[in-house]
Amino acid sequence: MKLKKDRVNEEIPTSSMADIAFLLIIYFMVTTTFAATRGLDFALPKDDDNPPQVEKEESVLIEIQAGGRLVVDTKPMQLDAILEYLKPKLARNPMKPVIIRPLEGSFYGHMVDVFDELRQAKDKMGFEVKNISIPTQREIDQFWY
Protein backbone atom coordinates (compact mmCIF):
# COMPACT_ATOMS: atom_id res chain seq x y z
CA MET A 1 0.00 0.00 0.00
CA LYS A 2 1.30 3.39 -0.90
CA LEU A 3 0.94 6.05 1.79
CA LYS A 4 0.05 9.54 0.69
CA LYS A 5 2.17 12.20 2.43
CA ASP A 6 0.87 15.72 2.90
CA ARG A 7 3.34 18.12 1.33
CA VAL A 8 3.89 21.33 3.29
CA ASN A 9 4.69 24.34 1.13
CA GLU A 10 8.07 25.65 2.23
CA GLU A 11 7.77 29.13 0.74
CA ILE A 12 6.61 32.25 2.53
CA PRO A 13 3.33 33.37 1.01
CA THR A 14 4.06 36.66 -0.69
CA SER A 15 0.96 37.04 -2.81
CA SER A 16 -0.59 39.57 -0.38
CA MET A 17 2.63 41.61 -0.15
CA ALA A 18 1.62 43.86 -3.04
CA ASP A 19 -1.77 44.54 -1.45
CA ILE A 20 -0.14 45.61 1.81
CA ALA A 21 2.39 47.74 -0.04
CA PHE A 22 -0.29 49.49 -2.11
CA LEU A 23 -2.32 50.22 1.02
CA LEU A 24 0.74 51.90 2.51
CA ILE A 25 1.28 53.87 -0.70
CA ILE A 26 -2.29 55.14 -0.59
CA TYR A 27 -1.80 56.18 3.05
CA PHE A 28 1.35 58.18 2.22
CA MET A 29 -0.19 59.70 -0.91
CA VAL A 30 -3.20 60.93 1.04
CA THR A 31 -1.25 62.33 3.99
CA THR A 32 1.61 63.88 2.05
CA THR A 33 1.44 67.60 1.32
CA PHE A 34 3.93 69.25 -0.92
CA ALA A 35 4.70 72.13 1.38
CA ALA A 36 6.28 75.30 0.06
CA THR A 37 9.60 75.34 1.86
CA ARG A 38 11.37 78.10 -0.01
CA GLY A 39 11.32 81.84 0.16
CA LEU A 40 13.20 85.11 0.14
CA ASP A 41 15.54 85.62 3.07
CA PHE A 42 15.52 88.97 4.73
CA ALA A 43 18.22 89.74 7.30
CA LEU A 44 17.14 92.11 10.02
CA PRO A 45 19.55 94.70 11.38
CA LYS A 46 21.72 93.42 14.20
CA ASP A 47 21.09 94.57 17.72
CA ASP A 48 22.93 97.84 17.63
CA ASP A 49 22.46 100.80 19.92
CA ASN A 50 23.80 103.22 17.34
CA PRO A 51 22.14 102.63 13.99
CA PRO A 52 24.09 104.26 11.15
CA GLN A 53 22.79 107.71 10.44
CA VAL A 54 21.88 107.98 6.79
CA GLU A 55 20.57 111.13 5.26
CA LYS A 56 17.42 110.59 3.26
CA GLU A 57 19.04 112.30 0.30
CA GLU A 58 21.88 109.76 0.28
CA SER A 59 19.59 106.81 -0.22
CA VAL A 60 17.21 105.62 -2.90
CA LEU A 61 13.62 105.63 -1.72
CA ILE A 62 11.17 103.29 -3.44
CA GLU A 63 7.64 104.10 -2.38
CA ILE A 64 4.85 101.63 -3.10
CA GLN A 65 1.59 103.48 -3.39
CA ALA A 66 -1.94 102.14 -3.27
CA GLY A 67 -2.54 99.67 -6.06
CA GLY A 68 1.16 98.90 -6.40
CA ARG A 69 2.26 102.03 -8.27
CA LEU A 70 5.93 102.70 -7.72
CA VAL A 71 7.54 106.04 -7.06
CA VAL A 72 11.33 106.00 -6.97
CA ASP A 73 12.89 109.20 -5.60
CA THR A 74 9.67 111.08 -6.39
CA LYS A 75 9.61 109.77 -10.00
CA PRO A 76 6.89 107.28 -11.04
CA MET A 77 8.54 104.15 -12.40
CA GLN A 78 7.73 100.66 -13.67
CA LEU A 79 9.05 97.67 -11.74
CA ASP A 80 11.37 96.54 -14.54
CA ALA A 81 12.96 100.01 -14.84
CA ILE A 82 14.17 100.16 -11.24
CA LEU A 83 17.39 98.21 -11.73
CA GLU A 84 18.43 100.37 -14.67
CA TYR A 85 17.84 103.45 -12.52
CA LEU A 86 19.84 101.99 -9.62
CA LYS A 87 22.83 100.74 -11.62
CA PRO A 88 24.71 104.05 -12.05
CA LYS A 89 23.85 105.13 -8.50
CA LEU A 90 25.17 101.92 -6.94
CA ALA A 91 28.22 101.91 -9.21
CA ARG A 92 29.33 105.12 -7.46
CA ASN A 93 28.48 103.83 -3.98
CA PRO A 94 27.71 100.09 -3.71
CA MET A 95 26.61 100.48 -0.09
CA LYS A 96 24.01 103.13 -0.89
CA PRO A 97 20.87 102.19 1.05
CA VAL A 98 17.81 101.30 -1.00
CA ILE A 99 14.71 101.84 1.09
CA ILE A 100 11.43 100.13 0.26
CA ARG A 101 8.50 101.95 1.79
CA PRO A 102 5.06 100.46 1.19
CA LEU A 103 2.43 103.13 1.83
CA GLU A 104 -1.16 102.80 3.03
CA GLY A 105 -3.24 100.86 0.53
CA SER A 106 -0.41 98.69 -0.75
CA PHE A 107 -0.33 94.93 -0.35
CA TYR A 108 2.29 92.47 0.83
CA GLY A 109 2.60 91.06 -2.71
CA HIS A 110 3.73 94.46 -4.02
CA MET A 111 6.53 94.66 -1.46
CA VAL A 112 7.66 91.13 -2.27
CA ASP A 113 7.70 91.96 -6.01
CA VAL A 114 10.00 94.95 -5.45
CA PHE A 115 12.22 93.08 -2.98
CA ASP A 116 12.52 90.15 -5.42
CA GLU A 117 13.40 92.53 -8.26
CA LEU A 118 16.21 94.09 -6.19
CA ARG A 119 17.52 90.65 -5.23
CA GLN A 120 17.64 89.68 -8.91
CA ALA A 121 19.98 92.57 -9.75
CA LYS A 122 22.98 90.25 -9.91
CA ASP A 123 21.35 87.90 -12.43
CA LYS A 124 19.73 90.59 -14.55
CA MET A 125 22.21 93.48 -14.53
CA GLY A 126 25.43 92.16 -12.98
CA PHE A 127 25.47 94.28 -9.84
CA GLU A 128 24.28 93.62 -6.32
CA VAL A 129 21.94 95.68 -4.19
CA LYS A 130 23.69 95.09 -0.88
CA ASN A 131 21.86 97.46 1.39
CA ILE A 132 18.11 96.90 1.16
CA SER A 133 16.07 98.32 3.99
CA ILE A 134 12.37 97.94 4.71
CA PRO A 135 11.73 100.24 7.68
CA THR A 136 8.60 99.69 9.72
CA GLN A 137 6.18 102.51 10.48
CA ARG A 138 7.47 102.73 14.08
CA GLU A 139 11.03 103.19 12.86
CA ILE A 140 9.93 105.84 10.36
CA ASP A 141 8.07 107.75 13.08
CA GLN A 142 11.06 107.39 15.41
CA PHE A 143 13.98 108.19 13.13
CA TRP A 144 12.72 110.11 10.12
CA TYR A 145 10.80 112.91 11.69
Partner 1 sequence: MKLASRSTQNPGIPTASMADIAFLLIIFFMVTISFEVDKTQVVLPKTAIRLEVPKKAAYISITENGQIRVSSGEEISVPVSGPEDVLSFAAGVVAMDPTKEFVLKADHDVPYRYIDRVIDALKQAKARTIFLLSLQETVDDKGSEGG
> Alpha-carbon distance 119 to 83, whole Å?
10
SS3 139: helix
Which value, in Å, is the radius of gyration of the alpha carbons in the chain? 30
**Between 83 and 122, how does the x/- string for binding to partner 1 read (CB under 8 A)?**
-------------------x-xxxxxxxxxx-xx--xx--
Asked if 64 interacts with partner 1 (CB under 8 A), we say yes
Nearer to partner 1 (CB atom), residue 3 or residue 12: 12
How many positions of this chain bind partner 1 (CB under 8 A)?
48
Closest distance to partner 1 from the beta carbon of 9 (Å): 16
> Alpha-carbon distance 40 to 113, whole Å?
11
Q: Which stretch binds partner 1 (CB under 8 A): 11-19, 55-63, 69-77, 88-96?
A: 11-19
Residues paired with residue 133 on neighbouring β-strands, in sequence order: 99
Written as one letter, the residue type at 28 is F
SS3 11: coil
Asked if 14 interacts with partner 1 (CB under 8 A), we say yes
Asked if 145 interacts with partner 1 (CB under 8 A), we say no
Asked if 77 interacts with partner 1 (CB under 8 A), we say no
Burial of 57 per CB tally in 10 Å (0-12, 13-18, 19+): exposed
SS3 85: helix
Given the rule CB under 8 A, which residues bind partner 1? 14, 17-18, 21-22, 24-25, 28-29, 31-47, 64, 102, 104-113, 115-116, 119-120, 123, 134, 136-139
